[in-house]
Amino acid sequence: MDRAEDPRLVWGLRIGFALVVLAVWQVTAVRLGENFFAAPGAIVSSAVALLRSGELMHYFVPTLEVLAWGFLLGLAVGIPIGLAIGRWRRLYWVSEGPINLFYTTPLAAVIPIILVILGFGTTTKVFVVFAFVVFSVLINSAAGVRNVDGDLLELARSYGSSEPMLWREILIPSALPFVLVGIRIGIGRALIGAVVAEFYAGISGVGYLIIYYSNRFDVASALVPVGMLIALGVGSTAGLKRLQEWLTPWASEARV
């Protein structure tokens, strides 16, 4: 940068660019015919209609519940197991292969099998979200502990640190930025997991809503829940970034 950033200029350009994109989109959609190519204006009026009738919230709340449960379970299982794997080499040796195997398995491909085992209820959806989240959190947590500065481990040893104090003073703070990265990746994967599970398991949630309106060629209405999911993803990622700055100031400000 040759000059200091003027926030008014930055935001002016951003908003201007967005307006141009929206205008081009609106014009193109109207010209092509709105049956297959929803215009921004049509999406907004569909959103208002879906909100007024209560339909959107009716389908969105169950999805949120599935997301919350699956996500929290993923963190509750992934973080401690990941930290333990990062700390104890034998555990790492044993688990490295299976974890990579599960992580690379295209989970969407096994959802029909999970349905057979767990049925068409909420359990399946929660489990799918959990499965989408747990490995990214686990792998990043393990990497965080394994990446600890060896010099600090030696420092702890020379001062006679106990294992609990080693975790508290060195391992956990050192792994924290990695864990947060795992959580951020996990948010995106959780959203994918929830929607895909609802495509299969049907009759509730925004996944069902998207399928329902798509089948009726009502693209504008189908895009409303998609927009909600995007907003949810963007919002929670931004929140996480704030959390990260607050929890790990040394990791972000150290690079300034």
For residue 77, give every residue at least 6 positions away whose Cβ sits within 8 Å of its Cβ, in sequence order, or none. 130, 134, 138
Residue from 36, 52, 106, 159 that binds other proteins (CB under 8 A)? 159
From 14-22, 108-116, 179-187, 248-256, span contacting other proteins (CB under 8 A): 248-256
Residue closer to other proteins, measured from CB, 55 or 169: 169
Write down the least CB distance from residue 213 to other proteins, Å.
49
Residue 234 Cα distances to 10, 116, 237, 238, angstroms? 20, 33, 5, 6
Write down the least CB distance from residue 232 to other proteins, Å.
31
Cα–chain-centroid distance for residue 183? 7
From 65-73, 124-132, 218-226, 242-250, span contacting other proteins (CB under 8 A): 242-250
Residue closer to other proteins, measured from CB, 96 or 154: 154
What does the block give as tokens for 109?
């491909």
Single-letter residue type at 137:
V
Neighbours of 89 (CB within 10 A): 10
* CB contact at 8 A, 179 and 140: yes
Residue numbers 160-199 binding other proteins by CB under 8 A:
160-162, 165, 169-170, 173-174, 176
Residue from 96, 154, 163, 245 that binds other proteins (CB under 8 A)? 154
* CB contact at 8 A, 141 and 172: no
What length does the chain have? 256
Write down the least CB distance from residue 158 to other proteins, Å.
5
Write down the least CB distance from residue 139 to other proteins, Å.
22
Residue numbers 91-120 binding other proteins by CB under 8 A:
none
Write down the least CB distance from residue 205 to other proteins, Å.
40
- Report if residue 157 touches other proteins, rule: CB under 8 A: yes
* CB contact at 8 A, 233 and 188: yes
Residue with tokens 């660019």: 17
Residue from 5, 158, 215, 242 that binds other proteins (CB under 8 A)? 158
Single-letter residue type at 122:
T
Question: Closest Cα partner for 203 from 63, 107, 64, 69?
Answer: 63
Residues 75, 199: Cα–Cα separation, whole Å:
24
Interface with other proteins: number of residues (CB under 8 A): 23
Q: For binding to other proteins (CB under 8 A), which residues are involved?
A: 151-152, 154-162, 165, 169-170, 173-174, 176, 248-251, 253-254
